[in-house]
C-alpha cells in the first residue's frame, strides 16, 4: 500500500512542479518590477511580427537564448497569439541551421510533453477550456481514428493545430513514447525545411504553403482509401 502511494506521488511530481513554477511566475510578475518589465517586453517583441527585432532580442540573451526559446515554446501552448512557426524560424535565424534545428526539436519535445501531461492529468474538461469545445472534439475524433499518423501529419503541417494534438493525446491516454515518437517523426521534415529556407522568409512562406497543401492532399487520399477499405470490409463480412 505504501509503495502504491509513493508511486502515485512520484507520478504526479511533474504536475506539482509545473503548478509551483506557474504560481511563482505569476507572483513575481506582480511583485517584482524587473520581472514584469521583462515579461511585458517579451510579449511585445514576440507578438510584433518583426523578425529582425525578434532575432536581435533573442541574440541579446547570449547563452540563455536557447533556453528562452524552449520556455517560450512551452508558454505558447497558452499564448496562442505567438505562433510556434515564428519561434522555429527565429531559432534558425539566431543560431543557424544546425543549432537552430536542435533548439526546434528540443522546444517541440518540451512543449508537447507539457501539453500531453496537462491533458493526461486534468482531462477532457480542462483541455476544452484551453482550446475550446469544438476544437477538442474535432482533434479527438481525428486522433482516435488515425492515432500515430494523425500526430505525424499534424506536426508536419504548420497550419494545423499542434498545440491541440498534444493536449488531446494526453486526454485519450495515447502512449507517451508512441506519441512523442510520432511527434519527432512529423516535426523532423518541417525542421529541415525551415533550416534550409529559414534565411529567406518569402521562399519559406511559399514553400510551407505548398508543402502543407501537398501533405494535406496526401493524407486526404489516405483517409479516403482507409474509409473505402473499411466500408468494403464491412460489406463483405
Predicted confidence (pLDDT) per residue in 60-97, tens digit: 877 788 888 888 888 777 665 556 777 788 888 778 88
Tell whether 208 is covered by a domain. yes
Tell whether 121 is covered by a domain. yes
CA distances from 185 to 151, 154, 201 (A): 9, 11, 24
Tell me the residue range of the domain where 108 lies.
32-236
Tell whether 55 is covered by a domain. yes
Structural domain total, the chain: 1
Tell whether 15 is covered by a domain. no
Tell whether 13 is covered by a domain. no
- Positive or negative CA dihedral for 23, 108, 178, 217? positive
User: Considering the chain, what is the average pLDDT of its residues?
Assistant: 76
Task: Give the residue from 101, 99, 106, 95 showing the smallest Cα distance to 58.
Answer: 95
Tell whether 165 is covered by a domain. yes
Average pLDDT over residues 39-60: 74
Tell whether 27 is covered by a domain. no
Determine the distance from the C-alpha atom of residue 109 to the mean position of all C-alpha atoms in its chain, rounded to a whole number: 8
pLDDT 10s digits, 101-133: 999 999 999 989 988 888 888 877 777 776 777
Tell whether 77 is covered by a domain. yes
User: 161 pLDDT band (50/70/90 cuts)?
Assistant: low
Amino acid at each position: 500500500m505504501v509503495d502504491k502511494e509513493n508511486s502515485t506521488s512520484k507520478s504526479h511530481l511533474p504536475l506539482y512542479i509545473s503548478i509551483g513554477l506557474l504560481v511563482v511566475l505569476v507572483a513575481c510578475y506582480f511583485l517584482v518590477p524587473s520581472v514584469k518589465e521583462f515579461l511585458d517586453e517579451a510579449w511585445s517583441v514576440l507578438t510584433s511580427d518583426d523578425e529582425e527585432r525578434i532575432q536581435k532580442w533573442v541574440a541579446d540573451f547570449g547563452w540563455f537564448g536557447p533556453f528562452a526559446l524552449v520556455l517560450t515554446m512551452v508558454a505558447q501552448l497558452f499564448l496562442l497569439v505567438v505562433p510556434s512557426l515564428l519561434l522555429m524560424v527565429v531559432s534558425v535565424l539566431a543560431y543557424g541551421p544546425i543549432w537552430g534545428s536542435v533548439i526546434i526539436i528540443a522546444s517541440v519535445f518540451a512543449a508537447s510533453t507539457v501539453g500531453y501531461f496537462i491533458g493526461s492529468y486534468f482531462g477532457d474538461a480542462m483541455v476544452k477550456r484551453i482550446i475550446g469545445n469544438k476544437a477538442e472534439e474535432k482533434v479527438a475524433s481525428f486522433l482516435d481514428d488515425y492515432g500515430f499518423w494523425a500526430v505525424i501529419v499534424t506536426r508536419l503541417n504548420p497550419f494545423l493545430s499542434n498545440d491541440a494534438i498534444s493536449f488531446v493525446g494526453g486526454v485519450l491516454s495515447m502512449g507517451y513514447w508512441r506519441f512523442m515518437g510520432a511527434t519527432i517523426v512529423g516535426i523532423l521534415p518541417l525542421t529541415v525545411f525551415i533550416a534550409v529556407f529559414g534565411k529567406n522568409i518569402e521562399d519559406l512562406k511559399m514553400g510551407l504553403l505548398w508543402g502543407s497543401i501537398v501533405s494535406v492532399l496526401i493524407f486526404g487520399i489516405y483517409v479516403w482509401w482507409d474509409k473505402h477499405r473499411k466500408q468494403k470490409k464491412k460489406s463483405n463480412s
